[in-house]
Amino acid sequence: RVQKSDTRKSLNAFISAAGDRPGFDQEIQEAIVRHENGPRKSSLDGSLIGVKDNICTLSEPTTCASAILEQFQSPFQADVVKRLEDHGAFVTGKTNLDEFGMGSHSINSHFGPVHNPRNRYGHLRSAGGSSGGSAVAVSTQQRPIALGTDTGGSVRLPAAYNGIRGFKPSYGLLSRWGVVAYANSLDTVGLMARSDVAMYNAFRALLMAPFPKISSSPNTLVQDALRDPTVVERVAEAVVKRVAKAFSNSEYRVNLLRKFRIGVPKEYNTKEMDPSIRSVWLKGLQALQQDGHSIHSVSLPTTQIALSAYYVIAAAEASSNLAKYDGVRYGKPRELASSGLASFAETRGLFFGQEVKRRILLGSYTLSAGAIDNNFIKAQKVRRLVQSDFNKVFRRSSPLVDRQNAIANEEGVDFLLTPTATTLPPTLSSLSCKSSVDTFSDDVLTVPASLAGLPAYSIPVYCNREHNRAYPELYHIGMQVIGQYGDDMDVLCASAHFR
């Protein structure tokens, strides 16, 4: 049965629920008929897909969880939404988030915080952020699949906190047309699902034409590339070929027999890491080794400084991207006390939340003439170092550096395996005692892959009570697979090897 509306209101996962648009019931009926009698458009035909409220849709407003866009109705829909609709999916129900994607716990929303359903014993816990609403919509089975955005971990962290799967594809693989920019050199559209199969199907739908044209559709890729100039067509086409291959049965079996070289970055074993997470990580590595994969300790020395570089770059880009919300071009027009330039300041002062204002101030400062060399430029240099750290450990070279994407380093690893978060979901009361800068450290394991634009997949791994005495109500811990740029399908398939 199709669930049209938010059935778990107290969790605050949705900003606008589905199904209010005219003709929706009729469309659902048609999908049910296609289900029963065929032909179905694709494996997603008839599925309801939740969308983070910073991705433009035609059926509901797109608020970015901000008072400044409270009534904003986009005149067009995002490329990713169009793709899913072409496959017969109902992209509907806009999910709650941290305002403009700025945060790690979905508490910086104009519409109130998202609650993690794993709240037993009266402790309200963080749902993770910024795509917390999408994660809760999926974990509570209100949606089989949801779209989020991941700039520095916003799909992976909430996936880890909610015991579901969260995938951030390579940067520039999926079009960002219609996705409201936070930090555009880092923003990616990501996916959340409860099973690998649902994840593969949704990813395939975003890259390939619906049935019966199973072949890749370069025309659509070209269109996307024209609308989002950061789409790397050449790499996207290579990924599409790999996706098509992975979906053939024989290739799937071949993948299951593959033995991988798995890297463990020693800098990810931070001293803040919760012992139960470390122990699940270790157990997982032992199990993979028993299955014949080889485990290799590797070093990514820039891991700690990556976090600072990320927050300098993201804030700098945000300060520029958010300049347009001035109450004239975008943003709430109102009767204001002031006029002219002063009215811009009044609008922004009234309608942006605290965290957004803090990032705009930080970004404007790091871009200012006196500070740029020591902050923004330095952070960009660190970003290059982070990328080259990753390139040194992977077996395959980056297709952005070497067009052949050849095996450059026989001693290198196929992918890295790390936890997604250093802690279990914190309680909302503990977060209220923390400064926002203190919560930045919750992203330490996710931002390096974002700075390097790499694909990363957070997978829930069962954590039994023996590992987790302190929080017996939490059963899953997120483990993150990070792969070389463009190795998206390998990263997704690696999950099949986890027990």
Catalytic residues, by residue number, are 52, 130, 154
Site string for ligand GLN, 189-218 (x = CB under 6 A): ------------------------------
Q: What's CA 289's distance to the chain center, in Å?
A: 29
**CB nearer to ligand GLN: pick between 101 and 486:** 101
Q: Which of residues 305-344 bind ligand GLN (CB under 6 A)?
A: 314
Nearer to ligand GLN, 182 or 376 (CB): 182
Shortest reach from residue 53's CB to ligand GLN, in Å: 13
Closest to ligand GLN by CB, 405 vs 446, is 446
| Residue 15 CB, nearest approach to ligand GLN (Å) | 16
Q: How far is CA 57 from CA 81, 94, 101, 284, in A?
A: 7, 9, 17, 40
**Least gap, CB of 29 to ligand GLN (angstroms):** 37
- The span from the CA of 167 to the CA of 181, in Å, is 19
| Tokens matching residue 296 | 């290799």
CB of 81 to ligand GLN, least distance (A): 18
- Looking at the Cβ atoms of 195 and 430, the one nearer to ligand GLN is 430
62: number of Cβ within 10 Å: 24
Per-residue contact track with ligand GLN, 142 to 181, x per CB under 6 A? -------xxxxxx---------------------------
Tell me the C-alpha distance between 256 and 5, whole Å: 39
Tokens of 126: 């963080």
Number of chain residues interacting with ligand GLN (CB under 6 A): 14
3-class DSSP assignment, residue 91: strand
DSSP labels, 350-403: HHS-HHHHHHHHHHHHHHSTTTTIIIIIHHHHHHHHHHHHHHHHBSBPPTTT-T
Three-class HEC string of 145-166: EEEEEECCCCCHHHHHHHCCEE
- For the bound state, the minimum distance from the C-beta of residue 104 to ligand GLN, rounded and expressed in Å, comes to 4
Handedness of CA 296, 302, 308, 309 (dihedral sign): negative
Which among 199, 260, 170 has a CA at the least distance from the CA of 498? 260
Which residues, 3 to 62, sit near ligand GLN by CB under 6 A?
Answer: none
Q: Between 48 and 356, whose beta carbon lies closer to ligand GLN?
A: 356
Query: Count of alpha carbons within 13 Å of 78, Cβ hemisphere only?
Result: 29
Q: Which is nearer to ligand GLN, 142 or 154 (CB)?
A: 154
Q: Which residue has the tokens 């970004």?
A: 363
The residue number whose beta carbon is nearest to ligand GLN equals 154
The greatest distance separating any two alpha carbons of the chain, rounded to the nearest whole angstrom, comes to 70
Q: Which amino acid is at 276?
A: S
> What is the footprint of ligand GLN within residues 425-444 (CB under 6 A)?
443
Let me know how long the chain is. 499
Q: How far is the CB of 148 from ligand GLN (least distance, A)?
A: 8
Nearer to ligand GLN, 154 or 162 (CB): 154
**Contacts with ligand GLN in 66-125 (CB under 6 A)?**
101-104
| Min dist. Cβ of residue 151 to ligand GLN (A) | 3
What is the contact surface with ligand GLN in residues (CB under 6 A)? 101-104, 130, 149-154, 182, 314, 443
